[in-house]
Amino acid sequence: MDDENDSQMTTNATFLKLSTYVEKNFHNVSFDFSLYPGFNSALNIERLLLLNLSKLKYFIENYEWLPFAISLLYFIIIVCWIPRLMRTRQPYRLNDVISFWNLTMALFSIVGTFRLLPELIFMIQNYSLFQSICDDRYIDDPRFFLWMFLFQFSKIFELLTSLFIVLNKQKLLSIHWIYYIISLCYSWQMLNMPSNTRWLVCTDFLVHSFMHLYFAMKLSTPHPLPRLFPILITLLQIIQGIICLITEWVTLWYPQQICHKQKYLSIIGFTIYAVFTIWLIRIFIEKYLPTNDHEANEIKKNE
């Protein structure tokens, strides 16, 4: 009987821990950032947003339907309607606009990396690699919540990538728009999956820093960039997928009182990263590992 009571108390404590992030009101945000790992300061724009953190949290909690509504509009307008509209039109020349947009996203991702990566490194150095996946103590730092919120919103702006593709009359691959829809909807659930979020967000920021910077450079220079660049970008994306896949597996394997994440989200996350990691590996093999000289020459012609 005592064992059953202890088990019930553990379960209750687990769900209390899991809901800690959701229950935080952020009405009295402490600006003593020396209490938290990472940088002991905040940018001016961060301080301004932190004063309204409770409103941002309220927005996320009460507009859980927003990513699904945006995804539906994205599918109808960008995936279906605009490509048909462009059949009788000339492609738009948007290289400068796309280059500026990629540069903006790159700078945003770089700042996000520098704000969140120190906390991840701190956890690995002072605790363990396992604790960096399963421990959700970062929820006490309001800056992390802020950047998680900004990360979620950045997934909405990433949908513009598809818009630029169809306006240039390029082929929009199914895997492309499916990835953006799933990424947007899954990221919006981060309030309910505190455990390995630091890994998911940090790796995404880091890889997108290089990816958007590469595309900005590619569009802003008349000379072709070294072939090594896209190869490294794809390899980084594969490594990101493998890392996220491992962290999802860890949260799925261990009970919730050890890894604080809802199991259904671990299953969804594991499936997502498994599918897209396999897809990236397939692209890498087909595009950068030709099986004969003829394929190698064709690749060089297309670059």
**pLDDT tens digits, 128-180:** 899 889 887 777 778 888 888 899 999 999 999 999 999 998 888 888 899 99
| Average pLDDT value for residue range 246-255 | 91
Identify the CA nearest to 149 among candidates 78, 103, 105, 201. Answer: 201
Per-residue pLDDT at 292: 61
What pTM did the predictor assign?
0.84
- Is residue 20 over pLDDT 50? no
Residue 11 has pLDDT above 70, yes or no: no
pLDDT-based confidence at 30, cuts 50/70/90? Answer: low
Residue 65, C-beta contacts closer than 8 angstroms, at least 6 positions apart: none
Q: What is the Cα 133 distance to its own chain's centre?
A: 16
Query: Do 204 and 105 touch, CB atoms closer than 8 A?
Result: no
Residues 1-25 have a mean pLDDT of 42
Burial class (CB in 10 A: 0-12, 13-18, 19+), 201: buried
At 263, is the pLDDT very low, low, confident or very high (cuts 50, 70, 90)? confident
Please report, rounded to a whole number, the percentage of residues in the chain having pLDDT higher than 90. Answer: 44
d(CA 170, CA 155): 21
Query: How far is Cα 144 from Cα 115, in angstroms, rounded to an integer?
Result: 8
Cβ atoms of 199 and 119 closer than 8 Å: no
What's the confidence (pLDDT) of residue 68?
A: 95
- Of 19-28, 180-189, 221-230, 242-251, give the lowest mean pLDDT range: 19-28
The predicted structure's pLDDT at residue 143: 82
Q: Average pLDDT in the 63-77 region?
A: 94
Q: Are 257 and 10 in contact (CB under 8 A)?
A: yes
User: What torsion do the CA atoms of 249, 208, 282, 223 make, to the nearest 10 degrees?
Assistant: -170
What was the pLDDT predicted at 195?
78
- Which pLDDT score, from 0 to 100, does residue 17 have? 39
Whether 257 shows a pLDDT value over 60: the answer reads yes
Is 1's pLDDT higher than 60? no
What's the chain's average pLDDT?
Answer: 83
The token pair that represents 85 in the structure block: 């509209």
At 291 the pLDDT is: 67
Token couple for 67: 């990513």
At residue 142, the pLDDT reads: 80
Calculate mean pLDDT across residues 108-128: 91
26's torsion region: left (phi>0), alpha (psi -120 to 50) or beta?
left
Q: What is the pLDDT of residue 42?
A: 78
Q: What is the pLDDT of residue 21?
A: 47
Using CA atoms, how far residue 248 sits from 190, 200, 256, in Å, is 13, 9, 13
Cα–Cα distance, 82 to 84 (Å, whole number): 5
